[in-house]
């Protein structure tokens, strides 16, 4: 059965300033006892997540709630297997798909077709399935003959459409969505929303990070409030928002029932 | 340590991925030139011709013996130096992918070595042509080039992994490595052989690990069997270096995504 389980999960990483990125300085500071090269060569550890515990099960639509820098994106990247925990454990079962900034990691010199195959190969999609997806992606993105052209000849909107179509063509057990999944012009937006909704609906577990409260309440049934890398609250999404708003001392002025748009 | 080994095995298992990515890199390079695949070979051929005339003159060598030496040396060195100078940047240049897609990091190393190997095969075409031109006898000994290439690949792979991890952490390392590459080319027997040196100075060549990497492939290419010590040193380097690289990789694996 699909699940994700975190036990005392912690992630800390070094912020390396320019002097700390130099091997020459590193050696110099060793030989001089660190006095000349300055205080430990400007190394700062950031505790991005600490003592995080949760279990996600099928049916969970989890909203990650927190202000900038609270650890939402780090948590998503840990769930995606990109960052490794520095303490504690994370266990999961099921195919993970991540919808982050989709245009990131595309090869601008390669054609649209090649980018579809590249991305799919990275995700370990077998060849027959890739071929099936290509048709579907081409149809959805409405790029037609442009698919055989290098991406650098595309307009920003076209690139965004292709990226969106590729990243939402996934079949996953655990779907991770970071905010700012962009899909180009307004005409395309409605279509994109529908598609994103259908991906969300067919994924057993969804973890969503966004600042758009309307969307989150609409889409999720569980909320995790993060502050300074720690979980402050874990429960029904409306209660989570109530807790979060109390936490930041804000008054809820937004209409929670508003039909939020999934795509920014 | 166990994780690092698992990562390496997992990376190898994703062969279809890095084989595809490698071909993709090569195709991109074709696209940027009108001559396509021919361009890679032609550029090396021109260099071989030029180097043979100039250094053959400087070293007072007969063209007939010097041409195969230069051709094989430059082709092999092109592979080694390509792997090293690109290898030190292997994780940095894959940074957008590393931060976006979960895949074993060793995939990027294998992709690089594979791409460089395809270039190497393009250039390798020159060697048989030269062998025919100067009329070297073709012998079954030349088949030893196959195990020799395996050893060379094993060695450059660990060098790539090691340098890649260090280069991702210390950003001045790529620059340091790149500035040493020219010197390394000069002090390694690529255009010359240890026997060109006065006997009391030959140790300079034999202390250099790259001497063995070049020579193990060059000897069979030109129809000579590499000596037993040559095989042993290369195997020892592959095993020892592989262990060092795996150890370092196991310590840095989890942090590379933060560094790049």
* Angle formed at CA A180 by CA A174 and CA A185, multiple of 5 degrees: 120
B103 Rama class: left (phi>0) / alpha (psi -120 to 50) / beta: beta
Q: Which residues of B222-256 are buried (b: 16+ CB within 10 A; e: fewer)?
A: bbeebeeebbebbeebbeebbeebbebbbebbbbb
Q: What is the mean pLDDT of chain B?
A: 92
Nearest residue, CB atoms, B24 vs list A13, A96, A114: A114
Name the band, by pLDDT with cuts 50, 70 and 90, for residue A264.
Answer: very low
Q: pLDDT digits over B87-99, tens only?
A: 999 999 988 888 8
Mutate to test the interface with B, among A4, A10, A105, A113 (most CBs of B within 10 A): A105
Interval A172-218: pLDDT, tens: 889 898 876 656 677 777 888 888 888 888 899 999 888 888 878 88
**Do A171 and A95 contact (CB within 8 A), yes or no?**
yes
Q: What is the pLDDT of residues B185-239, one digit of tens each?
A: 999 999 999 988 999 999 999 999 999 999 999 999 999 999 999 999 999 999 9
**Mean pLDDT, residues B47-63 taken together:** 92
Inter-chain residue contact A81 with B102, CB threshold 8 Å: yes
- Would you say residue A261 has pLDDT above 70? no
pLDDT of residue B161: 96
Q: Is the pLDDT of residue B34 over 80?
A: no
Residue A33 confidence (pLDDT): 56
What does residue A216 show for φ and ψ, rounded to 5 degrees? -65, -45
In this predicted model, which residue has the larger pLDDT, B77 or A261?
Answer: B77
Backbone phi, psi, residue B200, to 5°: -75, -5
HSE-CB at B16 with a 13 A cutoff on CA atoms is 11
Report H helices in B59-202: 63-87, 90-93, 95-100, 106-124, 126-134, 145-169, 173-187
pLDDT single digits (tens) B150-179: 999 999 999 999 999 999 999 899 999 999
Q: What is the mean pLDDT of residues A19-32?
A: 75
Q: CB distance A118–B31 less than 8 Å?
A: no
- Give Cβ neighbours of residue B192 (< 8 Å, ≥ 6 apart): B55, B59, B69
Task: Evaluate the CA torsion angle A226, A231, A236, A239 in order and state its sign.
Answer: negative
Q: Based on the structure, what is the number of domains in chain B? A: 1
Q: How far apart, in whole angstroms, are the C-alpha atoms of residue A41 and residue B170?
A: 13
pLDDT at A98: 82
Mean pLDDT to the nearest integer, B8-35: 85
The distance of A28 to chain B (nearest Cα, Å) reads 14
- Identify which has the larger pLDDT, A18 or B175: B175
pLDDT at res. A186 = 73
Cα→Cα distances B178→A193, B82, B159, B167, Å: 48, 11, 14, 11
pLDDT band at A15 (very low <50, low <70, confident <90, very high): confident
With 0-12 / 13-18 / 19 or more C-beta atoms within 10 angstroms meaning exposed / middle / buried, residue A164 is: buried
Angle at the Cα of A13 from the Cα atoms of A90 and A5, rounded to 5 degrees: 10
Percent of residues, chain B, with pLDDT higher than 70: 100
Please enumerate in sequence order all residues whose Cβ is within 8 A of that of B91, keeping only pairs 6 or more positions apart, or say none. B98, B105, B108, B164, B165, B167, B168, B256, B259, B260
C-alpha A217, offset from chain centre:
18
For residue A131, the tally of other CB atoms under 10 A from its CB is: 12
With an 8 Å Cβ cutoff, are A84 and B21 in contact? no
Give residue A43's pLDDT.
64
- At B59-77, the pLDDT tens digits run 999 988 999 999 999 999 9
pLDDT at A37 (0 to 100): 42
What number of helices (H) and strands (E) belong to chain B? 13, 0
pLDDT in tens, A90-117: 998 988 888 876 666 678 888 889 888 8
Average pLDDT, chain A: 82
A235 SS3 class: strand
A55-248 has CATH 3.20.190.10 classification: no
- Report whether pLDDT(A44) > 80: no
Report the residue from A84, A109, A117 with minimal CB separation from B254.
A84
For chain A, domain boundaries: 55-248
Percent of chain A with pLDDT over 70: 85
Contact between B100 and A101 using a beta-carbon 8 Å cutoff = yes
Percent of chain B with pLDDT over 90: 70
Residue A39 has pLDDT above 70, yes or no: no
ipTM value greater than 0.85? no
Cβ of residue A83 closer than 8 Å to a chain B Cβ = yes
Highest-scoring range by mean pLDDT, A25-34, A208-217, B113-122, B247-256: B113-122
Spell out where chain A has E strands: 3-16, 43-56, 61-65, 87-93, 96-99, 174-178, 205-209, 222-227, 230-236
Beta bridge partners of A4: A56, A92
**From A13, which residue of chain B is nearest by alpha-carbon distance?**
B258
Q: Which two tokens stand for residue B22?
A: 């490698």
Q: What percent of chain A has pLDDT over 90?
A: 19
Q: What is the DSSP string of A193-220?
A: HHHHHHHHHH-SEEEEE-S-HHHHHHH-
Q: What is the pLDDT of residue A183?
A: 62
Q: Can you tell me the distance from the alpha carbon of A65 to that of A63, in angstroms, rounded to the nearest whole number?
A: 6
- Residue A54: is its pLDDT beyond 80? yes
Higher-pLDDT residue of B187 and B33 is B187
CA dihedral A47, A50, A56, A61 (to 10 degrees): -50
Flag if B171 and A26 touch (Cβ within 8 Å).
Answer: no
Per-residue pLDDT band for A36 (boundaries 50, 70, 90) equals: very low
Q: What range does the domain containing B240 cover?
A: 2-259
Q: Mean of the pLDDT values across residues A67-76?
A: 88
pTM listed for this prediction: 0.86
Query: Across the interface, which of B16, B101, B255 has its CB nearest the CB of A123?
Result: B101
Q: Which residue out of B33, B170, B250, B257 would a mutagenesis test of the A interface target, given it has the greatest number of A Cβ atoms within 10 Å?
A: B170
Assess whether pLDDT exceeds 60 at residue A40.
no
- Given a contact cutoff of 8 angstroms between Cβ atoms, the answer to whether B11 and B21 are in contact is no
CB A234 within 8 A of CB A224: yes
> At A263, is the secondary structure helix, strand, or coil?
coil
A8-22, A69-83, A213-227: range with lowest mean pLDDT: A8-22
Q: Which residues contact B100 (CB under 8 A, 6 or more apart)?
A: A82, A98, A100, A101, A104, A105
Of B200, B195, B243, B240, the closest CA to residue B215 belongs to B195
Structure confidence by residue, pLDDT tens digits, A110-168: 888 988 888 888 877 888 888 888 888 888 888 888 999 998 898 888 888 888 888 88
């Amino acid at each position: 059965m699909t699940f994700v389980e975190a036990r005392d999960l912690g992630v800390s990483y070094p912020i390396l300033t320019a002097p700390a990125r130099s091997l020459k300085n590193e050696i110099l500071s060793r030989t001089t006892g660190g006095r000349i090269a300055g205080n430990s060569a400007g190394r700062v550890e950031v505790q991005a997540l600490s003592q995080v515990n949760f279990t996600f099960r099928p049916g969970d639509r989890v909203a990650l709630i927190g202000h900038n820098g609270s650890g939402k994106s780090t948590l998503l990247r840990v769930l995606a297997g990109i960052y490794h925990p520095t303490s504690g454990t994370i266990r999961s079962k099921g195919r993970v798909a991540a919808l982050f900034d989709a245009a990131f990691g595309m090869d601008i010199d390669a054609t649209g077709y090649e980018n579809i195959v590249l991305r799919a190969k990275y995700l370990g999609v077998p060849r027959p399935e890739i071929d099936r997806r290509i048709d579907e992606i081409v149809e959805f993105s409405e790029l037609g003959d442009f698919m055989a052209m290098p991406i650098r000849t595309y307009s920003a909107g076209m690139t965004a459409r292709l990226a969106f179509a590729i990243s939402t063509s996934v079949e996953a057990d655990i779907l991770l969505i970071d905010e700012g999944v962009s899909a180009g012009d307004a005409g395309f937006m409605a279509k994109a929303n529908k598609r994103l909704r259908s991906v969300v609906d067919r994924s057993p577990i969804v973890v969503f990070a966004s600042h758009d409260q309307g969307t989150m309440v609409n889409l999720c049934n569980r909320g995790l409030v993060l502050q300074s890398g720690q979980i402050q609250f874990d429960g029904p999404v409306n209660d989570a928002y109530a807790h979060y708003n109390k936490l930041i001392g804000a008054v809820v002025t937004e209409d929670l029932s508003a039909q939020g748009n999934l795509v920014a | 340590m166990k994780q690092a080994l698992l990562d390496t095995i997992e990376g190898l298992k994703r062969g279809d991925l890095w084989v595809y990515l490698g071909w993709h890199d090569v195709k991109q390079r074709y696209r940027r030139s009108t001559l396509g695949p021919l361009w890679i070979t032609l550029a090396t051929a021109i260099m071989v011709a030029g180097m043979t005339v100039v250094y053959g003159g400087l070293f007072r060598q007969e063209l007939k013996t010097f041409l195969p030496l230069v051709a094989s040396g430059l082709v092999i060195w092109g592979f080694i130096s390509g792997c090293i100078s690109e290898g030190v940047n292997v994780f940095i240049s894959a940074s957008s992918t590393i931060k976006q897609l979960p895949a074993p990091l060793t995939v990027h190393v294998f992709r690089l070595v594979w791409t460089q190997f395809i270039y190497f095969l393009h250039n390798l075409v020159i060697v048989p042509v030269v062998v025919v031109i100067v009329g070297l006898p073709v012998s079954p000994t030349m088949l030893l080039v196959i195990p020799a290439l395996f050893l060379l690949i094993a060695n450059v792979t660990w060098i790539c992994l090691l340098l890649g991890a260090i280069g991702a952490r210390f950003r001045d390392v790529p620059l340091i490595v790149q500035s040493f590459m020219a010197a390394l080319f000069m002090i390694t027997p690529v255009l010359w052989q240890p026997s060109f040196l006065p006997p009391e100075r030959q140790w300079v060549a034999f202390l250099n690990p790259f001497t063995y990497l070049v020579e193990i492939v060059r000897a069979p290419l030109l129809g000579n069997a590499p000596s037993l010590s040559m095989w042993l040193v290369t195997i020892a380097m592959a095993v020892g270096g592989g262990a060092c690289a795996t150890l370092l990789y196991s310590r840095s694996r989890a942090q590379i995504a933060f560094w790049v």
